Amino acid sequence: MNENVIHFVYLASVACFILSLKWLSAVPTARRGVTIGVLGMLLAVGGTLLDPSIEHYRYLAGAAVVGAIIGVPMAMMPMTAVPQRTALSHAFGALAAALVGTAEFYLRTPNLDHFTMVALTLEVILGALTITASLMAAGKLQELLPTRPIVFRNQNIVNLSVLGLAVVIGAILIVNPGLAWLFPIMLMLCIVFGVLLIMPIGGADMPTVLALLNSYAGLSASMMGFVLNNKLLIVAGALDGSSGLILSIIMCRAMNRSFGNVLFGAFGQVQTSAAATEQKPYRSASAEEAADLLSSASSVIIVPGYGMAVAQAQHKVRELFDVLTKQGCLVRFAIHPVAGRMPGHMNVLLAEADIPYDKLLEMDDANPEFPQTDVALVIGANDVTNPGARHEKGSPIYGMPILDVDKARTVMVIKRSMNPGFAGIDNELYYMDKTLMLFGDAKGFVGEVVKALASE
């Protein structure tokens, strides 16, 4: 096969990836972005299969079958499990990069030049730490592991020492690749560091962590491209790594926090002082009472959160939107950048329920609207609506921009209980005079509200 044909296929694949990123950045074109991204990956795999150096396609066919057996069930996971699935995808991508790097090291040592050895070392370090870090993140998201931070004395010093030792060993191997016995030590140190990296990070920071792990996996793949002299891997990995890093920065800004604070601040740790305080009074209401308030409202802003995702209530929320809209009420949705467990989690759920794109307001657009809103209906969101973020300096969410739902004329919160969110602190919103707590499963409760509204 002419190499020019392969290069042309690779070029078309890169163009698809670039267009995919562009279209995925806007809700109306997101579906198109997914489709063109899939096409780009098909072209990338197809171009690779055209390589004349491939001798045994049966091994590739076997690998494809194994990948399909793993990948198809993952694709069938419920929407609430998308963050966990994303973390697992990062782990698999990083595993591929680390395995290829390890194989190349042992196959080509000691005939590795310094440049290739630098790329290979970075590939293995980033890939290995991303494997265990992503698995840890998936475990926390699935609540197989404690979602709270796990901390111990001098943790940051220990973590950085493990990573620093791995980097030092990598530098030694770059100078002298013949010291092959050091390679597995570097590999194991990076695997251990991946575990240590995620242990002190609480569930509230998982959206940022997922974006950061995406960046690590992409950069590892880009380094693999340099090792294999594959231009497609270099470009695609760089796109993945840079987009993940940019998204991480956006998420940190949304929480008004730095990377260092996310990675080393143990955010999300349960506040014992909050648990020790005596129970505060709050007001609750039934579905019928909530329906009465909504029926008399001329403007409503719905604030979705992870509780809506867990209950899979997005379609019932769509029914509520339709009923209120038919009654002449202006209904919109306020989306916080870190609502849910991954970037854009709420947007995906609402898009699945065919909520009109023009009804979705980003935080900066929604906040000026709350003072003129009759009812703010919070469905499963917690920390992103906590007014304490503005003034409680001892709070782990202090300084984080929030949705100003407390400025609406009436606030209603659908929640299973008064338990705190991932940040482990009470939400001041729940105890305000204008707030009504609506206890129950979000899907069931919204369904009852819709029935009550329809019967009026």
Predicted structure pTM score? 0.77
Q: pLDDT per residue over 207-249, tens digit each?
A: 778 888 989 999 999 999 999 988 899 999 999 999 888 888 8
* CA nearest to 385, candidates 431, 342, 428: 428
Strand 360-362, strand 299-304: pairing: unpaired
What does the pLDDT read at residue 262?
A: 64
What does the pLDDT read at residue 270?
A: 43
DSSP state of 284: B
Residue with more model confidence, 423 or 300:
300
Q: State how far the Cα of 440 lies from the Cα of 450, in Å rounded to an integer.
A: 15
The token duo for 436 is: 């009504």
The CATH number of 279-454 is which of 1.25.40.10, 3.40.50.1220, 3.40.1440.10, 1.10.4160.10? 3.40.50.1220
Q: State how far the Cα of 264 lies from the Cα of 154, in Å rounded to an integer.
A: 11
What does the pLDDT read at residue 41?
A: 93
236: Cβ–Cβ under 8 A, 6 or more apart, which residues?
Answer: 13, 14, 17, 44, 218, 221, 222, 225
In the predicted structure, residue 273 carries a pLDDT above the cut 50: no
- Domain map (residue ranges) of the chain: 1-76, 88-264, 279-454
The token duo for 405 is: 């739902």
Catalytic residues: 383
Mean pLDDT over residues 298-307, rounded?
92
375, amino acid identity: V
146, amino acid identity: P
In the predicted structure, residue 1 carries a pLDDT above the cut 60: no
What does the pLDDT read at residue 418?
A: 80
| Number of neighbours of residue 157 by Cβ within 10 angstroms | 9
Residue with more model confidence, 317 or 269:
317
What does the pLDDT read at residue 257?
A: 66
Query: Are the beta carbons of 429 and 402 closer than 8 angstroms?
Result: no
Mean pLDDT over residues 100-113, rounded?
91
Q: How confident is the model at residue 324 (pLDDT cuts 50, 70, 90)?
A: very high
In the predicted structure, residue 109 carries a pLDDT above the cut 80: yes
What does the pLDDT read at residue 125?
A: 96
Phi/psi region, residue 178 (left: phi>0; alpha: psi -120 to 50; beta: rest), is: alpha
Q: pLDDT per residue over 31-44, tens digit each?
A: 899 999 999 999 99
In the predicted structure, residue 275 carries a pLDDT above the cut 60: no
Q: State how far the Cα of 169 lies from the Cα of 172, in Å rounded to an integer.
A: 5
Query: Are the beta carbons of 309 and 345 closer than 8 angstroms?
Result: yes
Q: State how far the Cα of 10 lies from the Cα of 129, in Å rounded to an integer.
A: 29
Bond preceding residue 200 cis, omega within 30 of 0 = no
By three-state DSSP, how is residue 437 classified?
strand
What does the pLDDT read at residue 203?
A: 65
- Tell me the helices (H) and strands (E) count for the chain, helix number first: 18, 6
In the predicted structure, residue 4 carries a pLDDT above the cut 50: yes
**In Å, how far are 2, 4, 71, 87, 297 from 216, measured between CA atoms?**
34, 31, 21, 12, 48
Q: What is the mean pLDDT of the chain?
A: 87
What does the pLDDT read at residue 340?
A: 74
Q: Which segment, 254-258, 343-347, 420-424, is predicted with the most confidence on average?
A: 343-347
